């Protein structure tokens, strides 16, 4: 039997005095309305430039509970995806990378998982590895032409071009010095 974790009962409010999306999402988790909770969490994560450690902790508790309690695959995959996105925005790239990798093993048709992995490797200055992931992104998008995958492939193609150019410049610089 799943036990609902103690989720911080503190409501955060926006400038107009309304509860924020994170707080509203937690409220829906407590009610076991996971679909609505995930909508609020997704909006919160998509709007946030950065996510604090405390908010990541709150999100992680909620996602762990949803993953343990949910019956349908889509809810579980969405929870895992949002957890990875939250950790990425909180600056925990290694943890986000691990989550994207595990998500990709469960959902191998998701080109966006590969794109995010490439972006993280690029942020580690591992450009060759990033290019590999960007190429895989395009390969998945060619096989599964969903709008999300096509968009990921377009971004990947641009990132490949940019990284190849950076590698070329670095190579020329090393030759001169």
pLDDT of residue 56: 87
Q: Which residues contact 27 (CB under 8 A, 6 or more apart)?
A: 19, 37
d(CA 130, CA 122): 5
8: confidence class by pLDDT, cuts 50, 70, 90: very low
Residue 166 or 14, more confident = 166
pLDDT of residue 5: 41
150: confidence class by pLDDT, cuts 50, 70, 90: very high
Each residue of 121-135: pLDDT tens digit? 999 999 999 999 999
98: confidence class by pLDDT, cuts 50, 70, 90: very high
71-98 per-residue burial string, b: 16 or more CB within 10 A, e: under 16: eeeebbbbbbbbbbbbbbbbebbebbbe
Residue 156 or 7, more confident = 156
Selected from 2.30.29, 2.60.40, 1.20.58, 1.10.3470, the CATH number assigned to the domain covering 108-177 reads 1.20.58
Q: Which residues contact 70 (CB under 8 A, 6 or more apart)?
A: 34, 76, 79
Q: Which residue ranges does the chain devote to CATH 1.20.58?
A: 108-177
14: confidence class by pLDDT, cuts 50, 70, 90: low
pLDDT of residue 49: 83
pLDDT of residue 15: 56
**Average model confidence (pLDDT) across the chain:** 87
Each residue of 35-92: pLDDT tens digit? 899 999 999 888 888 888 888 888 889 988 888 888 888 888 899 899 999 999 889 9
């Amino acid at each position: 039997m799943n036990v609902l974790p103690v989720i911080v009962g503190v409501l955060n409010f926006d400038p107009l005095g309304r509860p924020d999306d994170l707080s509203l999402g937690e409220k829906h988790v407590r009610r076991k309305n996971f679909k609505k909770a995930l909508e609020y969490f997704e909006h919160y994560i998509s709007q946030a430039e950065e996510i604090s450690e405390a908010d990541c902790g709150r999100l992680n508790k909620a996602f762990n509970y949803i993953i343990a309690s949910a019956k349908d695959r889509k809810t579980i995959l969405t929870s895992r995806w949002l957890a990875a996105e939250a950790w990425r925005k909180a600056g925990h790239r290694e943890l986000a990378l691990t989550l994207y990798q595990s998500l990709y093993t469960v959902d191998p048709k998701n080109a966006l998982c590969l794109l995010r992995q490439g972006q993280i490797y690029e942020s580690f200055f591992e450009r060759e590895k990033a290019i590999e992931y960007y190429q895989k992104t395009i390969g998945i998008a060619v096989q599964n032409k969903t709008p999300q995958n096509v968009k990921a492939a377009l971004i990947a193609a641009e990132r490949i071009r940019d990284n190849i150019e950076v590698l070329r410049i670095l190579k020329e610089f090393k030759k001169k010095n």
